[in-house]
Structure 1
Amino acid sequence: MRKVSAKPEFHKLSMREYDVLFNLRICPGGRSRLVDLNRYLLISQPSLSRMVTRLEDKGLITREADPTDQRAMQLSLTPKGLAVQQEIGREHVKHIYEQIGTALSEDEFIQLQQLTSKLRSAIQ
């Protein structure tokens, strides 16, 4: 993880900030309440709240009232946030491949994907 976090793409945003953008991007409808988003992150809810404020200040995410619960807010990516997430994501995938791309054969990568999907399904 140290090697990954030291890559140039994480000079713009930290890995944790990128993780927030990535998870917002894959949420159904591109929106999530803070409490729901927090289920997918390795960060405390108070830390996530502060991070959301920083990302909002940078113009990367927006908060809107949740139409189903007036006490809650929904988070979503701004167009700028989506662009930053995609830019960092492309570089991140390239660097991950550089580090582990030759370690497994194509069949082993397929098997790894199947196993991780199975594990993800088991914990959801």
Structure 2
Amino acid sequence: MSTRRFPTRDELRIWRDYLETGDLVRASLAARLQRSSGLSPGDYAVLLALSEAPGGRMRSSTLAETIGWERSRVSHHLGRMEKRDLIRRENCTTDNRGAEVVLAPAGQAAFQEATRPHLRDIREIFVDALTPEQLAAAGEIAAALRAQLAHPTAPRGLA
């Protein structure tokens, strides 16, 4: 019979600091993005994915996977973006059963206008707050967490 090991008090403090700081960083970036461009982080994620897609279009199921959202969430969000003329939904040219999300000219313009200020905000809020060593460590931490989530039973450092 194995005993379950729970986090120590210090480990839990670090965990809470990590969560709370991440929330503050995301909230600060979201507020600045909204203020400077009128786009939400969700809008920006959709527009970024579409701007990187061949022809500025992709299937909504692929979009959901690309940005890490459930398909129903993507569908509702796309409806709101479509009303603002940021995207269009068109029948899939290769498969009659699906629809493709297409980056509309207004969406492309909004994305281009939002990108420079957003990147400056990322630098100011995140990058400039850390030393080069801390930034590298943050990258290593993110990679270790992704590896653990991709292979939850693998021993640390081997995933």
Shorter chain as normaliser: what TM range?
0.7 to 0.9
2: CA distance, partners of 1:89 / 1:70: 34
**Any idea what the Cα deviations from partners look like across 1:47-99, whole Å, max 9, x if unmatched?**
11011111111011011111111111111111110010111111110101112
Distance in 2 (CA, whole Å) between partners of 1:100 and 1:34 is 31
Query: What TM-score, normalized to structure 1?
Result: 0.78
Q: In structure 1, which of residues 4, 23, 45 is the aligned counterpart of residue 71 of structure 2?
A: 45
Partner of 1:101: 127
In structure 1, what residue type is equivalent to 2:92? D
Structure with greater contact order relative to length (CA < 8 Å, sep ≥ 6): 1
User: Structure 1, unaligned stretches of length 5 or more?
Assistant: none
TM-score (norm 2): 0.62
Residue 104 of structure 1 and its aligned partner are, at CA, apart by 3.9
Extract structure 1 runs of 4+ deviating beyond 2 A: 100-105
Q: How many residues align?
A: 115
- Aligned residue runs from structure 1 range 35-114, under 5 A: 35-102=61-128, 103-105=130-132
**Structure 2 stretches of 5 or more lacking a match?**
1-25, 151-159
Counterparts of 1:67 and 1:17 in 2: how far apart (Å)?
Answer: 24
Q: Which residue of 1 aligns with 2:34?
A: 10
The separation in 2 between residues aligned to 1:67 and 1:42, in whole angstroms, is: 24
Identity of aligned residues (%): 30
> Hey, what's the Cα distance between the residues in 2 that align with 1:51 and 1:100?
27
Aligned partner of 1:25 in structure 2 is 51
Q: Distance in 2 between matches of 1:100 and 1:4?
A: 9
Distance in 2 of aligned mates of 1:87 and 1:34 = 24
**Whole-angstrom CA distance in 2 between matches of 1:41 and 1:100:** 21
Q: Secondary structure at the match of 1:40?
A: helix
